[in-house]
Amino acid sequence: MEILHREGLARVGKFRTAHGWIETPTVMPVINPNLIVIEPQRMKQLGASAIITNAYIIRRSPDLNARATSHGVHSLIGFDGPVMTDSGTFQSHVYGSVEYGNLDMVEFQKSIGSDIGTIRDIFSEPTDSHEKAARAVRETFERVGEVEDTGGMILAGPIQGSVYPDLRARSARLMSGSRAGYLPVGGVVPLLESYRYRDLVSIIMASRLNSDPSKPLHLFGAGHPMFLAMSVLMGIDMFDSASYIKYARDSRFLFPDGTRDLAKMVEFPLWSPIYNRYSIQEFMKLDPESRVREIAWHNLTAIFMEIREIRERIMEQTLWQYVEGKSRSHPALFDAFRWICRHSASTMPFHEISRKSPFHFHDRMSMQQPVARRLLNHAGRIMKSSDEIWILHPDIFSGGDSQDPVLRQVYERTGAQIAFMWNSVPVPLELKDTYPVQQSISSGAASFRIPAAVHNYGNARIITRDELPEILKGEPIRDMDMNQVRAIADFQFDPGIGMRIFDGGSSVRVSRSTGRIRTVSQSGRILATLRPHDGFFTLSMDGARKLIAASGDRFMVTVTGDSAEYNSKGFNVFSKFIISHDPDILAGNETVVCGDDGKPVAVGRAMVSGREMGKYRAGVAVKVNHGSQEASDNGN
């Protein structure tokens, strides 16, 4: 896979098949080759770039078998884009056995030209014991190993393990290390049908965090719009859906937040293809076949409308906010979202250091977002290590005008660690302009709890406006600007790094118009520029060298000699040329590029996290801002 846009585990990407590229996230409509209600080629109008059909059904039908063998599966179903085929696993699970073995079905899928073919995995029920599910994981993996030649077909190796996260994690690791290039998460339909979304969260998280990110992750049978965004937030790339036709046969309409019965509807929504063509009464008089076809088209519209919204949200980096709001539409979804929040510590390394969009605070649950958790963890360490803490009462500062001159005067006249309340949590004043503090929108639901703020830190006290006159009588004893740039560097990289990069010889330049920090220099050469949109640093080559010296070769990637020469001229780093890297690099953070001789040749922003870097074989890994030859030419 190649990643184009991302937000945490969610990603807009693309991967190549024999019949073209598939852009993710997307849904593959399920096509029954015996009864095609909507022509697959027509589905392209809605954005269907790939479809899925059942190779077992095709093989056991003499007519379908002959046509597919002679002309290929694409001709059979009338679709010229990528086609995935399932192998009959579900039929085997339901009926006890099928007449074709694993290798037989893989070879058949190759022979009819499937772009993505699936092994005959072992379906696990949610009620299976741990021992039974473990056997299914082991046997499914062994069946992948039976396949010696895929013939150019992408092999799908399903991740099984029932409801046991440890088995899902084991299965994900096994499949990631196999020749399977596509990873469906199987055995989840019973959970989807019973709204057991919390169990699905545990399954998806275990699968995503233990799988190879370069291989697309598919959630089998999950095509209802209400759960798509939440699944993508957890890292699912692909879905398949027969829901559009199943619900249509029951006269049920899919909507982004649920399902509605035709008999209870009053009017069609404006976005529906049925709108303005029929009244409800007229629609109910249609013949059953026409009614099913029209509802199926509406349902597909709802599915792909949601997919488009999800992609847009990832590109805006507002998917978390979208899912947080959407989760309130159903109690089971909200319960699942709370479970996602409980996993935020494990997903934090995959989330960007900042986002394009402001941080939205709705209530205390919003503080479980990984970007907020990262800040609060860092703030907590600082506060616990401080000998004296002053917490500013909101009547002095509540995160509004961060350039209020009174703040500077108070700060520079004490040696205490000063904090202010941000959404009911104390945050060091030095981080007042750094994402997500300044770049946030609050509902105002957070309250200022003086006892709680002081209780958490025994050496803390609240400073009120009445105390300001006495404080301001003192003389300045420290430099707020220099302390702020060091504190930002500590948060951006690692505690203590700020002092090592920006030592006593550094100087700070602030904007004359806004008073905000702009650059940090040493001996007349710029080390770093503070980005106005998120309050983090962009490093120059001089700053990059100091970072490497200060961090002990962390925050860097090592590339091949040929790539180093290319990158030194200001060109981006591509994933396939990376030799080694720091696994703790955050997406969006400054990353130093070194040649195989260990010398820095460029600096830029990481496009993927260190946990994923080196696993992709396509796409940009580091977007270079400065190259050593480019910097030399510019006298930097």
Domain boundaries, the chain: 2-241, 363-478, 493-633
* Strand, helix or coil for residue 351: coil
Of 343, 349, 337, the residue nearest 165 (C-alpha): 343
The architecture of the domain spanning 493-633 is Roll (2.30)
Question: Mean pLDDT, consecutive 10-residue segments, the chain of 636 residues?
Answer: 96 97 98 94 96 95 96 97 90 67 95 97 94 97 95 96 98 98 95 94 98 97 94 98 95 95 96 96 96 97 97 98 94 95 94 95 91 95 92 83 84 94 90 93 72 72 92 94 97 96 94 91 96 96 96 94 96 97 97 96 97 93 94 50
Of 95, 79, 103, 71, the residue nearest 19 (C-alpha): 79
495 within 8 A of 501, measured Cβ to Cβ:
no
The pLDDT of residue 91 is: 67
Of 417, 411, 419, the residue nearest 481 (C-alpha): 411
The pLDDT of residue 634 is: 46
End-to-end alpha carbon distance in the chain: 36
Give catalytic status of residue 86 as yes or no: yes
* Strand, helix or coil for residue 407: helix
Supply the pTM of this predicted model: 0.94
pLDDT tens per residue, range 400-459: 777 788 899 999 999 999 999 898 888 999 999 999 998 999 887 666 666 566 667 778
Residue burial 528-556, b: 16+ Cβ < 10 Å; e: rest: bbbeeebbbbbbbbbbbbbbbebbeebbb
Of 199, 272, 204, the residue nearest 238 (C-alpha): 204
The pLDDT of residue 487 is: 98
For 403, 483, 509, 533, 622, the CA distances from 407, given in Å and listed in that order, are 7, 14, 19, 22, 38
Residues 6+ apart with CB under 8 A from 636: 525, 526, 540, 541, 542, 626
221 within 8 A of 192, measured Cβ to Cβ:
yes
Under DSSP, the state recorded for 348 is: G
Return the CATH superfamily for domain 2-241. Answer: Queuine tRNA-ribosyltransferase-like (3.20.20.105)
The pLDDT of residue 425 is: 87
Q: Of residues 86, 115, 212, 534, which has the active-site annotation?
A: 86
